[in-house]
Amino acid sequence: MPSFDAVNYSLRPSKSIQRQIVFEGVRILQDTMDLQRLAYIGMGSIWFTDFVMAHKILGVEDMVSIECNEIGFRRARFNSPFITVRVREGLSSAVLPTLYVDEFYANRPWMIWLDYDYELNESIKLDIRSVVENSPGNSIFLVTFDGKDSRYDEAPQRPQLLRSLLGSVVPDELSKEECEGEQMRETLANLVIQFMGSIAADMARPGGFVPAFRAIYQDGPPMVTVGGILPVRGDEESAKSTVGAANWPCRPPRPIKAPNLTIREAAVLQSQLPCPRKLSREDVQALGFDLEEEQIEAFQSYYRQYPAFAQIIA
Amino acid sequence: MTIEAGMKAHAYPTKEFFVKMITRDLTLSDCILDLIDNSVDGAWKSAVGGPTELKQDDSLSKYLISISITPKGFIIEDNCGGMTLDDAVNYAFSFGKPEEYKRDPYSIGAYGIGMKRAIFKLGTNIRIHSTYLTSNGVRESFAVPINVNDWLSTNEPPWDFDIVTDVHLRENGVRIQIDALTPEADGLFGSEAFHQDLRRIIARDYSLYLERGLKISLNDSPITGLQIALRESAEFAPMRFAYKDRTDGNEVGVEIIGGMAALPPPPEATEPEDLAERSRGAELFGWYVVCNGRIVLAADRTVSTGWGTDDWPIWHPQYAGFIGVILFSARNAVALPLTTTKRSIDDSSEVFRRARPRMRELTRKWIDYTNLRKQALEDARQKEQQAHPVPIYSVSLRPSVQLPELIARDSEPVANVQYSVPLTRMRNLARKFGSANLPYREVGLRSFNYAYREKVGEE
């Protein structure tokens, strides 16, 4: 079943927070890098949430959404939010090479976000290689995939599975323990970032690869988003300094696990923020309801990005 | 010994290093090719050749390189313009090229070591004789006689060779004669196999120059260049894509051409097997790397051109039929991905590493085609036969290769499973599947399907 039939994309607070963080980061990059005429390339599904953000936050006009499902393609075209969004039907492995040689896209930077809803596999790996090797200078590249450990064979086989997927970047001493539970997500994030860097180095990409994005989030299955900047030669240092600054938002230290709150709960909690000290369970109880400490901490960390959802009666 | 102020570690070269050590990195054929390279550079300079484009013309048709190899000695003579006295005095016999040296544009010689290393490897009594036209239009001649053993007798500077006057050669050019062959050269120069192999190597590695009219003869017999051709039809179209790159301030032109090779004409006897038919041209298949017109790697199927590296399978006979050619062209030869032996590539070169993904993409498409081909062999052979050969210099520009879309027979590869289990356990399991008398094969299939549903899920 295509994921757009399974998931209402607008009701996932952690994903929404993660998107906000990423677009905030790229907004910062717009001040320090030449991202004029940025094009957005993604997998907009039928919801196009990231496309709307790319347009509204970054001012991006030209956008391409890749859709491999036949019905999904028609629905995507129907739901396209702006006239400048082009929906291309086909697998990313088939559509991407056409964009590399399309003069309209080939000579301008891209923000490309390959947002898969399944686990890292051979075809995702080949897409990653293809984008690092072929995307234009000053492109920003993100990839999202499922990080649930059980998607990757049995635990003892996981180090070998990762080795066969990602090759030399996987250390010989990678242990079974590093491929279990939350540690598996950390391992996947680190290795895929290193994989991107080594592709850029192997092909002597001018400007190389600057790691910039690393977020793990969970609404349903835990997801991993990683990526970086593929600067033109000469812009590497500026890119490194931007993403190395203390205010760079795109490497949250802990997985984003936002609580599902009612509008009223979110509004009441928000009215207590910003607050220099950590809110406690007692604080929330004093407000008239209750949450777990972990949920309170997540909300306090990301209340600025927390989505405000409401049911619309059509 | 104790450390004292101002103490230095000596770093002086020795003549023996140049005569006996760095000559080990190359074969006798490589030496001869190095000397041919010098002649080709002379011809290219005399013809005022620009970037080494891929085309067929007669721009080098006035130039001839004659090579004579016998157990008694070696001679290479050309009419490619000759070496000037200034070049001989200041550059040609130095080891390495000084900073101020102005390299000939689009030459193959890059490092300033080829000729010296080659003559030292071939023999010990050498005479380099040149006739050239001065800037005033006057013909002048000189010779540099080298007795290697005498030269080796002292390491004291200055290191130099005598220059003497000599008669004019018949045409302006260079003649190198080597009389006292080294034991390695003496042994191999009498071998007919060596002569034939050398002829094949020259025909292949200088084919792009031979295509432009250059003449090379070995023991008075002219050498015909290897014809590289790709097949074209409504369904087959080779890729031809060019772009500019830069390294260390030097521009490098890169061109990639590739697709299905045109096999050599069929032999008299018909070989019915497809594999046999395809293996006829096996020695031609693979990647060719060309630097300023010189083929430095031919029909390569090794890691040098990417086979067997990340996301690029090692060569397999199934991939027979593929030819890819990548041409690098640079005004400054130092920018080329050349090794000093010119028989391989410097795979750490940025220009080469940046080109490799495009090479892989082309190769990948051919591999995918051969995977499908196995399952639609008749259809594929029919389509392949309809394609006609086109010389690589006539291939049209096209950003990616076009290959036929074959419809595979419905024959997903299968795995056969065979194992032994205790009979009682087999019957117990068969009973659980409904009948103790189920055939073992059926029990095996049902248990596989059961495990598949549990572990993998429904399809």
Range of the domain at B431: 423-455
ipTM: 0.73
Q: For chain A, say whether B399 makes contact (Cβ under 8 Å).
A: yes
In a domain, B411, yes or no: no
Quick one: which of A139, A140, A165, A133 has its CA closest to A152?
A165
Amino acid at position A165, single letter = L
In a domain, B404, yes or no: no
In a domain, B427, yes or no: yes
As a whole number, the mean pLDDT across chain B is 87
| Domain match, B257 and B164 both | no
| Domain match, B55 and B33 both | yes
Confidence of residue B101 (pLDDT cuts 50, 70, 90): low
Q: For chain A, say whether B361 makes contact (Cβ under 8 Å).
A: yes
pLDDT, tens digit (0-9, with 9 covering 90-100), for B370-391 = 988 888 888 888 888 899 999 9
Q: Which of B354, B361, B399 sits opposite A204 (nearest CB)?
A: B354
- What's the number of domains chain B is made of? 3
* pLDDT value at B458 more than 90: no
Q: CA B392, CA B258: separation in Å to the nearest integer?
A: 8
| The pLDDT of residue A287 | 94
| The pLDDT of residue B91 | 83
Q: For chain A, say whether B350 makes contact (Cβ under 8 Å).
A: yes
| Domain match, B209 and B303 both | no
Percent of the residues in chain B that have a pLDDT greater than 90, as a whole number: 51
| Domain match, B192 and B291 both | no
**Residues in Cβ contact with B312 at an 8 Å cutoff, skipping those fewer than 6 apart:** B306, B360, B363, B364
**Residues in Cβ contact with A39 at an 8 Å cutoff, skipping those fewer than 6 apart:** A60, A62, A63, A64, A105, A108, A109, A110, A111
Q: Do A168 and B399 touch (CB under 8 A)?
A: no
Pairing state between β B164-165 and B73-78:
unpaired
Can you list the residues of chain A whose pLDDT is less than 70? 1-10, 309-314
* pLDDT value at B104 more than 80: no
| The pLDDT of residue A142 | 98
Buried b (16+ CB within 10 A) or exposed e, B425-443: ebbebbeeeeeeebeeeeb
A39-42 β-sheet, strand order: A85-89, A63-67, A39-42, A110-119, A139-146, A222-230, A210-218
pLDDT, tens digit (0-9, with 9 covering 90-100), for A188-235 = 999 999 999 999 999 999 999 999 999 999 998 999 999 999 999 999
More confident residue, B101 or A197: A197
| Domain match, B287 and B375 both | yes
Q: Do A202 and B310 touch (CB under 8 A)?
A: yes
In a domain, B310, yes or no: yes
Q: Do B310 and A204 touch (CB under 8 A)?
A: no
Q: CA A306, CA B119: separation in Å to the nearest integer?
A: 77
Domain of residue B121, CATH code: 3.30.565.10
Q: CA A244, CA A256: separation in Å to the nearest integer?
A: 21
Give the domain ranges of chain A: 3-244, 263-302
Quick one: which of A249, A17, A25 has its CA closest to A141?
A25
| Domain match, B193 and B326 both | no
CB A109 within 8 A of CB A137: yes
| The pLDDT of residue A135 | 96
| Domain match, B318 and B260 both | yes
Secondary structure of chain A in the HEC alphabet? Answer: CCHHHHCCHHHCHHHHHHHHHHHHHHHHHHHHCCCCCCEEEECCCCCCHHHHHHHHHHCCCCEEEEECCHHHHHHHHHHCCCCCEEEEECCHHHHHHHHHCCHHHHCCCEEEEEEEEEECCHHHHHHHHHHHHHCCCCEEEEEEEECCHHHCCCHHHHHHHHHHHHHHHCCCCCCCHHHCHHHHHHHHHHHHHHHHHHHHHHCCCCCCCEEEEEEEEECCCEEEEEEEEECCCCCHHHHHHHHHCCCCCCCCCCCECCCCCCHHHHHHHHCCCCCCCCCCHHHHHHCCCCCCHHHHHHHHHHCCCCCCCCCCCC
| Nearest chain B residue to A198, by CA | B310
| The pLDDT of residue B154 | 86
pLDDT, tens digit (0-9, with 9 covering 90-100), for B188-223 = 998 889 999 999 999 999 999 999 999 999 999 999
Residue ending a domain, choose from B394, B415, B441? B394
CATH for the stretch A3-244: 3.40.50.150
| The pLDDT of residue B268 | 36
| Torsion sign (Cα): B206, B208, B209, B215 | positive
Helix axes A293-302, A263-270, angle to 10 degrees: 70
Which range has the worst mean pLDDT, A3-17, B304-318, B438-452?
Answer: A3-17
| Nearest chain B residue to A150, by CA | B455
| The pLDDT of residue B412 | 61
In a domain, B200, yes or no: yes
| Domain match, B307 and B162 both | no
Query: Which residues are B239's β-sheet partners?
Result: B258
Q: Do B354 and A205 touch (CB under 8 A)?
A: yes
Q: CA A91, CA A95: separation in Å to the nearest integer?
A: 6
| Domain match, B281 and B388 both | yes
Residue range B242-256: average pLDDT?
94
In a domain, B59, yes or no: yes
| Domain match, B301 and B383 both | yes
Q: Which of A131, A157, A203, A205 to mutate against chain B (most B CBs within 10 Å)?
A: A203
| Domain match, B54 and B175 both | yes
Residue with tokens 């790397």: B289
In a domain, B106, yes or no: yes
Domain of residue B323, CATH code: 3.30.230
In a domain, B35, yes or no: yes
Q: Which of A101, A125, A203 sits opposite B353 (nearest CB)?
A: A203
* pLDDT value at B274 more than 70: no
pLDDT, tens digit (0-9, with 9 covering 90-100), for B38-77 = 999 999 989 877 777 788 888 899 999 999 999 889 999 9
Q: Taking CB atoms and an 8 Å cutoff, what residues of chain B touch A202?
A: 310, 353, 356
Quick one: which of A24, A77, A95, A80 has its CA closest to A49?
A80
Between CA B309 and CA B316, with CA B313 as vertex, the angle to 5 degrees is 130
CB A124 within 8 A of CB A145: yes
| Domain match, B49 and B181 both | yes
